[in-house]
Amino acid sequence: MSLPDAAVATVAANTALPTPLAQAIVADAVQRIEHTGPLDDAAELREAFAARPTRAAQFLHRAWLLGQRLGLPPLLAQGRTALHWATLALALAVALSALGTARAVLADDRSINAVAAFTALLGLHLLALALWLGSLPWALRARPGHAASHPGGPWLGRLALPLAAWLAARWPGTPVALPAKPHAAPLLHASAAVLQRQRLWPWLLGAISHGVWALAFVLVLGALAFGFAFQAYRLSWETTILGSEFFVRFVQLTGWLPAQLGFAVPDAATVRQAASGTLGAPGTAMMSAGAGGQRAWAFWLLGCVAVYGLLPRAVLAALCLWRWRAGLARLAEADAVVDTASPYVRRIFTRLDALAPAQVVDAEQRPPAAALPPPAPAGQPGTLALIGFERPPELPWPPEGWPATLRAQPLLNLAGSSAERQAALAQLAATRPWRLLVACAPHASPDRGTARFLREAARHATHAALWLPEAPMPAADPADPAAPASADARGPARWRDWLQAEDLAPRISVLHGPQAAAWAGEDAPLAAPAPATHNA
């Protein structure tokens, strides 16, 4: 009998390496949660100490293990997915708005006021761009706490954040809204604080905003080019108080940069003729020349949108994305994430220092390096651990029916004291068995201490199972094969319900009577008979 596929998938997901950004956010969220009281982290602290070489890396790993227990990584992944969908929805809305603007410029009467079209297509963009450039130094100097309450940056980027929160709160299949989920608020504040502290906040918002703007200008250019290619439009300018020289200078100034990139720009004579409204009108002697002038007007407008609209947004989007990835690369260094001056961090470091083994100062008494045992391989196939947990003393150990040819290391029978538990966990951490079998009395009452021991012990094994040796196999009822035939199976059913309530069922299966030997012997080699008893 092997673990279900769902349990194996759960184990693989829990052991997957987190990204540096996710690890930093979860560490900050755990710190905020522990402001209300420290968490029970004895197992996480030991595992982090054994798994990472430096104190900063151990601090982050401990926080990640606690975050997994609190359900923070799934919440973070859900929020990241919601942000992607929010950006896509925002891009779609802006794209529709851009198409509407282009449609308004290409009026039905085929007459376009060139200066008004320039202002309509680029005015809001240039204003928003100037505001972003002006606010960028302030955003980079903003305090981390300020970013969580009022993030600075482009308005399109800021709009994506509440939209992402709204989507995450109403995610399909989510029974509880995101703000009502446990620890959701600390995770949201931690995300904003980490992004601001690492100077990533303005680059994230900038990449979103500039990317959406660039998409909008691509659509506008496509709509204008299509309209100019297959429809005859007449571009002109109108004024009541301004002279023609103003429009000549305006076209020359705005058309200089597009002209350097190959876009045609109307000359001064063409600009002056456009005021009369007869440039390119049918029936005039200047129809041929007017057609060329209208073509220059069209390319001037396309060039201005491409050079002053699309080009800066695309460049800034690429710049923000580059700065964002450079910031993420900095997060790969644990020392750059962990604030070693924080009292909270120093307290965790002190507890990690206490786990370090005492060193021999006298060189003459130092054991030779060859005498130190090599580290045990993690989860070596074929290794087996058998532990009895709080079984009545009158019950035999190992239980009756245990094959003498199956060797277990360690083979322990714990009465339940704290010292015994810690010693057993230390042996499991050293041996790292492939299969761990914990035997309990079927009619015992599981409690919080049992759950804590099972959770910590299962961390050190590839597969884990709970064995109820004295529980008989439930007999099948011919009328209902899925239902137990008697009350003998109530004990195992109670243990299964308890494992489900403690969220241990996906990791630890329940075995009855002779099932354990088959489960343990699937890949365990046959060996000499095990000793009759072994008490920790």
Domain boundary among 297, 327, 357: 327
pLDDT of 534: 43
Residue 291's pLDDT band (cuts 50, 70, 90): low
Does 390 share its domain with 294? no
pLDDT digits (tens, 9 = 90+) for 137-182: 776 665 544 443 334 445 555 555 566 665 555 555 443 344 445 6
> For 337-358, how does the pLDDT look when each residue is reduced to its tens digit (9 = 90+)?
788 788 888 888 888 888 766 4
pLDDT band at 307 (very low <50, low <70, confident <90, very high): very high
Residue 130 inside a domain? The answer is: yes
Instruction: Answer yes or no: is 299 within a domain.
Output: yes
Q: What is the pLDDT of residue 281?
A: 45
Closest CA to 403 of 260, 527, 232: 527
Residue pair 190/25 in contact by the 8 Å Cβ criterion: yes
Q: Is 321 found in the same domain as 398?
A: no
The reply to whether 256 falls in a domain is yes
Residue 8 lies in a domain: no
Is the residue at 153 inside a domain?
no
Are 411 and 322 in a shared domain? Answer: no
What is the tens place of the pLDDT at every residue in 55-64? 888 888 888 8
314 and 424, same domain (yes or no): no
- Examine residue 482 and state whether it is found in any structural domain, yes or no: no
The answer to whether residues 266 and 396 belong to one domain is no
Residues 317 and 447 both lie in one domain: no
Same domain, 319 and 404: no
Query: Does 232 share its domain with 115?
Result: yes
Identify the residue with better confidence: 345 or 1.
Answer: 345
Q: Work out the average pLDDT over 376-385.
A: 67
Print the domain residue range for 516.
384-472+487-520
In contact, 202 and 139? CB cutoff 8 Å: yes
Residues 277 and 135 in one domain: yes
Instruction: For residues 422 and 308, state if they share a domain.
Output: no
Domain boundary among 301, 327, 353: 327
Q: What is the mean pLDDT of residues 352-367?
A: 57
The reported pLDDT for the residue numbered 472 is 65
> Is 219 a domain residue?
yes
pLDDT grade, residue 317 (50/70/90)?
Answer: very high
- Interval 448-475 mean pLDDT: 80
* Residue 10, domain member (yes or no): no
Rounded to two decimals, the pTM is 0.59
8 Å CB contact between 116 and 239: no
Same domain, 243 and 111: yes
Say if residue 250's pLDDT is above 90. no
Residue 383, pLDDT score: 81
9-13, 53-57, 155-159, 436-440, range with greatest mean pLDDT:
436-440
The tens digit of pLDDT for each residue in 259-286 reads 898 888 888 887 787 665 544 444 443 3
If asked whether residues 407 and 504 sit together in one domain, one would say: yes
Residue partners of 168: CB distance under 8 A and separation at least 6: 78, 79, 81, 82, 174, 178
Mean pLDDT of 425-429: 84
Q: When comparing pLDDT for 334 and 284, which is higher?
A: 334
Name the one residue in this structure whose structure tokens are 């290619």.
Answer: 229
When divided into structural domains, the chain yields a total of 2
DSSP 294-344: HHHHHHHHHHHIIIIIIHHHHHHHHHHHHHHHHHHHHHTSHHHHS-TTSHH
β-strands 411-414, 384-389 pairing: parallel
Q: Which residue pairs from 417-421 have beta carbons closer than 8 angstroms and sit at least 24 positions apart in sequence?
A: 420/536, 421/453
Of 101-115, 289-303, 410-424, give the lowest mean pLDDT range: 101-115
**Which candidate, 525, 507, 530, places its Cα nearest to that of 412?**
530
> Which residue among 327, 350, 367 closes a domain?
327
Cα dist. 326→27, 199, 204, 210, 322 in Å? 21, 11, 12, 18, 6
Residue 156 tokens, joined? 């399109």
Contacts of 427 (CB under 8 A, 6+ apart): 385, 410, 412
